Chain A
Amino acid sequence: MLPGLTWLLVFQCLGEVLVRVTGLPVPGPVVGMLLLFVALRVRRAAPQPLTLAADGLLKHLSLLFVPAGVGVMLHVGRLVDEWVPILVALVVSTALAIAATALTMRALIRWRGGR
């Protein structure tokens, strides 16, 4: 687990450095993910400690969003004032986005398969 976590942090650091050196407008961790992905494809198989750390972290991914969610406390006033537009926008657009993504993907898979 520990060597795996170390590798994740090393790749995140590499990503952050690359973003700052090149001035790319992409978040560092995303670049870190792409670099790790390339490394894993070159190596062919992921080392076991890395798999262990990654799966462990992703298994409880939702835990990591709790502190940001509690930030709701800071915006109670705005959320009370604008709760109708915010709630409608979030619920409807999330449902629409799920449907649009799924239906587009299925249509494109069928279209390619049909040729």
Chain B
Amino acid sequence: MNAQPFTEIWVYLAATPLLGLTLTLVAYQAGYWLYAKAGFQPLANPVLIAVAIVVAALTLTGTAYRTYFDGAQFVHFLLGPAVVALAVPLARQWDSVKALAWPLAGALAAGSLIALASAVGLAWILGASAATLLSLAPKSVTAPIAMGIAEKIGGLPALAAVLAVTTGVIGAALGKYVLDACRIGDWRVRGFALGVAAHGIGTARAFQVNAEAGAFAGLAFGLHGALAAVAFPLAYWALVHLR
């Protein structure tokens, strides 16, 4: 039996999607384990830990992002079916959602507008470049939709995805403290606010805390994605053409 030298095994593994996929799942398991160890403390966000582990591993082995993504794309792909899956908790909670139709619509409009205006406004005042501003605009929308919006308005899709994921992590980490400071006790309101401001990562956090909060967060995350996908490119078009 001829054992292959380690470098040959590495060359083989690095060329298959297996490594990127395995690394993503192992890093997430490690992140989730630490998150659980920390008593589901919101600051120990599992996405943040997993991203840090993967980036460290890729940097240490000199692996390119593109090579990693060949494997990780199978996980990334599931974002689509996950958005479709939001229909299930939404249908389950529909009676309580229907009763709140107007408060939900008003809250979504207010949250979406504040997220967009304050992010772009602050970054502009602090001197960010145009490409960064346009990539920052859809940051409260879930990563795949944010990428589509950035592309339509002239931002950088990959940067928009990173900024959206970072926003999700920040929202999931800070949400509890902001909502406590505002003295919000209603799980429906807490969940919806997390979903509007921190899309899928905020929704994941909400599902971990309370089922009703999770359903409202999922609703907010889906509605905000749909609204932004239509409204942001139109608003940008109007801004550019009508002044």
Contacts and interface: CB of A to CB of B under 8 A. Distances in A.
Given A27-B229, A104-B110, 9 more contacts: A5-B81, A29-B84, A40-B87, A64-B78, A68-B161, A85-B123, A86-B132, A93-B122, A98-B197
Interface string A7-32: 01101100100000000011111101
Contact of B129 (A26, A82, A109): A82
Contacts of A84: 126
B103 interface: yes
A97 B162 contact: no
B106 A86 contact: no
B132 A82 contact: yes
Given A62-B204, A64-B78, A82-B129, A95 B51 contact: no
Interface of A: 5, 8-9, 11-12, 15, 25-30, 32-34, 36-37, 40-41, 46, 50-51, 53-55, 57-75, 78-79, 82, 84-86, 88-106, 108-109, 112
B168 A65 contact: yes
Contacts of B144: 27, 29, 68
Contacts of A54: 85-89
4 shortest A-B CB distances, which residue pairs?
Answer: A101-B111, A85-B126, A105-B107, A108-B103
A56 to B, nearest CB: 9
11 contacts: A37-B87, A58-B218, A62-B45, A62-B200, A64-B78, A65-B165, A85-B122, A85-B128, A89-B122, A98-B179, A104-B103
